[in-house]
Structure 1
Amino acid sequence: MNNKIKKIQKIGFQWPMENPFIFCAHHKDAYPKGNEVQGIDSELLIGREIGNDFSGKDGFSMYHGKVVPGFPVHPHRGFETVTIVLNGFVDHFDSKGSYGRYGNGDVQWLTTGAGCQHTEMFPLINKDKENPVELFQIWLNLPSKNKFVEADYKMLWAEDIPVIEFKNEKGSKTNIRLITGKLEGREGLEPNKNSWAADKNNNVGIYLVKMEAEASMILPAVSETLIRNLYFYQGEGKLIIEGQSFEASTRIKLSGKEEISIINGDKEAYFIVLEGEPINEPVVQYGPFVMNTKEEIYQAFRDYQETQFGGWPYDREDPVNKRTSGRFAHYADGREEKRYEESSKS
Structure 2
Amino acid sequence: MKVKNISKVVGQMPVRDPFILSAYHYDLYPKGNGKMGPDASLLKGKNIGQDFDRDADWRMYHGETIPGFPHHPHRGFEIVTIAAEGFADHFDSKGSKGRYGNGDVQLMSAGSGVLHGEMFPLLNDDKDNPFRLFQIWLNMPSKSKLTEPNYKMLWSEKIPEAHITDENGGKVDVKVILGEYYGVKSQDPLENSWAKDKNHHVGIALVEMDPGTKFVLPAVAASMNRFVFFYDGTSTISIEENNMQQRQLADLAGDEEITITNGDQKAKILILEGEPIGEPVAAYGPFVMNTQQELQEAFEEYRRTEFGGWPWGDKETDIVNPKDTGRFASYNHGEEIDKP
Compute the TM-score of the two structures, normalised by the length of structure 1: 0.94
> Deviation per CA, 1:68-89, whole angstroms, max 9, x where unpaired?
0000010000001100011110
> Deviation per CA, 1:199-221, whole angstroms, max 9, x where unpaired?
11111000111111100011011
Per the alignment, residue 191 of structure 1 pairs with 189
Question: Within 5 A, what are the aligned runs for 1:240-255?
Answer: 240-255=238-253
Equivalent of residue 160 in structure 2, options 159, 162, 168: 162
Per the alignment, residue 16 of structure 1 pairs with 14
Q: 1:56 to 1:276 in 2, by over 3 A?
A: closer
- Is 1:326 aligned to residue 321 of structure 2? no
Post-superposition offset of 1:56: 5.3
Separation of aligned partners in 2, 1:60 and 1:127? 16
**Overall identity of the aligned pairs, in %:** 51
> Deviation per CA, 1:208-239, whole angstroms, max 9, x where unpaired?
11111100011011122111111122222221
Q: Give ranges in structure 1 of 5+ residues lacking alignment.
A: 340-346
Separation of aligned partners in 2, 1:178 and 1:88? 20
Post-superposition offset of 1:57: 7.0
Per the alignment, residue 130 of structure 2 pairs with 132
Per the alignment, residue 272 of structure 1 pairs with 270
> Deviation per CA, 1:272-306, whole angstroms, max 9, x where unpaired?
11000100100111011100001111111101100
Separation of aligned partners in 2, 1:9 and 1:55? 19
Separation of aligned partners in 2, 1:17 and 1:42? 35
Post-superposition offset of 1:252: 1.1
Per the alignment, residue 37 of structure 1 pairs with 35
Per the alignment, residue 342 of structure 1 pairs with none
Per the alignment, residue 213 of structure 2 pairs with 215
Contact 1:22 1:140 in 2 (8 A): yes
Equivalent of residue 107 in structure 1, options 101, 105, 108: 105
Could you tell which deviates more after superposition, 138-147 or 120-129?
Answer: 120-129
Post-superposition offset of 1:40: 2.6
Separation of aligned partners in 2, 1:283 and 1:300? 14
Post-superposition offset of 1:253: 1.3
Could you tell which deviates more after superposition, 286-295 or 56-65?
Answer: 56-65
Amino acid at match of 1:233: Y
| Number of residue pairs the alignment of both structures matches | 337
Per the alignment, residue 338 of structure 1 pairs with 339
Question: Within 5 A, what are the aligned runs for 1:135-150?
Answer: 135-150=133-148
Separation of aligned partners in 1, 2:110 and 2:266? 36
The SS at the match of 1:43 is: coil
Separation of aligned partners in 2, 1:56 and 1:66? 19
Contact 1:35 1:41 in 2 (8 A): yes
Amino acid at match of 1:335: E
- Runs of 4 or more above 4 Å deviation: none
**Aligned-residue CA RMSD in angstroms?**
1.4
Separation of aligned partners in 1, 2:70 and 2:172? 37
Post-superposition offset of 1:149: 0.5
Contact 2:232 2:267 in 1 (8 A): yes
Compute the TM-score of the two structures, normalised by the length of structure 2: 0.96
Q: Give ranges in structure 2 of 5+ residues lacking alignment.
A: none
Post-superposition offset of 1:41: 4.6
Per the alignment, residue 60 of structure 2 pairs with 62
Per the alignment, residue 283 of structure 1 pairs with 281
Amino acid at match of 1:77: R
Separation of aligned partners in 2, 1:10 and 1:17? 12
Could you tell which deviates more after superposition, 246-255 or 119-128?
Answer: 246-255
Amino acid at match of 1:34: G
Contact 2:83 2:134 in 1 (8 A): yes
The SS at the match of 1:59 is: coil
Question: Within 5 A, what are the aligned runs for 1:174-185?
Answer: 174-185=172-183
